[in-house]
Amino acid sequence: MAASGDSSAQQPLRILVITTGLKLGGAEQQIAALAGAFVALGHAVSIISLTAGQEVALPPGITVTELAMRKTPLSMLSALRKARRIVSQWQPDVIHAHMVHGNLFARVLARTGHTPPVICSAHSAHEGGTLRTLAYRLTDRWCALTTHVSEAGRRAMIDSGAVPPGRMAVIPNGIDIMRFRPDPVARERARGDLVLSSDDVLVLNVGRLVPEKDQAILVDAFRDVATALPRARLIIAGDGPLRAALTTRIAQYGLNHAVLLAGARNDIPDLLRAADVFVLSSRIEGMPLAVGEALASGLPVVATAAAGVAELAGGTATLTPVGDAPALARALLEVITQLPDSQAKCDRRRSQIVSRFDVGAVARQWLVQYQRLKEGH
């Protein structure tokens, strides 16, 4: 099998990616990272985005077609016709769809006529309610394979009845270990840009401001942290519909001096280098890229035990129950009071990611799957 994987990686493939969108979410960042890895390995990538707008950076040479699809039958039919035309003209070897809307769209596309093998990747342990679960189950036979980024997510989808056990595999997210790495010089520069003193302790959270990420619980927890440690600071990097509510919550707690809603950022590697601790407060995850990026940067991580976190961290993070603000506060205080970290601990965290989740190695896993499906199609 290893020999087959090696040979497949040397045969140029045409990979058509279908995604719900290309905003700054974790799944979208993973799509961009994999696309870059595929191109670097000599393969061709084209992307269809169901929605308009691109925020993630893609390597040169990748064509992006935005369908700007709306929730009307005519818009959906028009989008299917455009996608069908792209398949006919570009002749991909495989179609790889991501996220629930992209997955269901790709399955319907396959149903409308001849297509290459379709792979559907889920990125969240909770892909939706009863209707989405039913849609997954009814369209399962229209794709060659469904995957999830974590074993916990795979089990959740199987238990819900969305996918039969034998038709769902786990392939994890990949982390760009060269982009996310410790850099003492860059750390000092980044902390200077943020006007942090040597006494300030920076806690960083990265994620969209949506209920699933539960930054409200994080702000509740940080009120206790800031009371005990006046030099503690929290930056939440991300944007979303809960921004106004979080702004109000921060002001009500008198934390405007200590908590910054930094908005969507494209300098996450520098923010991670500036930080002393990374925190995740999510209720729902699949396999949180931000945690992997923090560990690759050598940071101590405090996280809720959402799906995929334990698999990713492998014992290198401090986990707390989901939705428990006092427990999150206690864990943050314990980790902060143990700073500065030893080099051995930093190295162990980075090694956890380098050894199992390097994006280049994950891309090669995908190429083996693509080649196998192409040959069997």
- Given this model, what pLDDT does residue 9 score? 45
Residue 5 has pLDDT above 70, yes or no: no
**Shortest CA distance to 234 belongs to which of 277, 184, 193?**
277
pLDDT in tens, 191-205: 999 999 999 999 999
Average pLDDT over residues 127-153: 92
Question: What pTM did the predictor assign?
Answer: 0.88
Question: Can you read off the two tokens belonging to residue 44?
Answer: 């061709």
The pLDDT score that the predictor gives to residue 165 is: 86
Average per-residue pLDDT for the chain: 94
Q: What is the mean pLDDT of residues 262-291?
A: 95
For 299-353, write each residue's pLDDT tens digit: 999 999 998 999 999 999 999 999 999 999 999 999 999 999 999 999 999 999 9
Mean pLDDT across the stretch 240-245?
97
pLDDT at 125: 77
For residue 184, is the peptide bond before it cis, meaning its omega torsion is within 30 degrees of 0? no
What CA–CA distance (Å, rounded) separates 58 from 185? Answer: 27
Superfamily of domain 2-174+358-376: Glycogen Phosphorylase B; (3.40.50.2000)
User: How many Å apart are CA 269 and CA 316, to the nearest integer?
Assistant: 20
H or E stretch at 158: helix 151-160
Enumerate the domain spans of the chain.
2-174+358-376, 184-356
pLDDT tens digits along 8-28: 446 899 999 999 999 888 899
Please tell me if the domain spanning 2-174+358-376 has the same topology as the one spanning 184-356. yes
Least confident of 58-62, 77-81, 138-142: 58-62
Confidence of residue 129 (pLDDT cuts 50, 70, 90): confident
Does residue 67 have a pLDDT over 90? Answer: yes
pLDDT at 138: 96
pLDDT given for residue 358 in this prediction: 96
**Residue 106 to residue 121: CA distance in whole angstroms:** 11
The encoded tokens of residue 358 equal 């390097």
pLDDT for 10: 62
pLDDT surpassing 70 at residue 7: no
| Statement: 184-356 belongs to CATH 3.40.1530.20 | no
**Residue 372 CA: distances (Å) to CA of 59, 149, 338:** 26, 19, 49
Taking residues 131-138, report their average pLDDT: 94
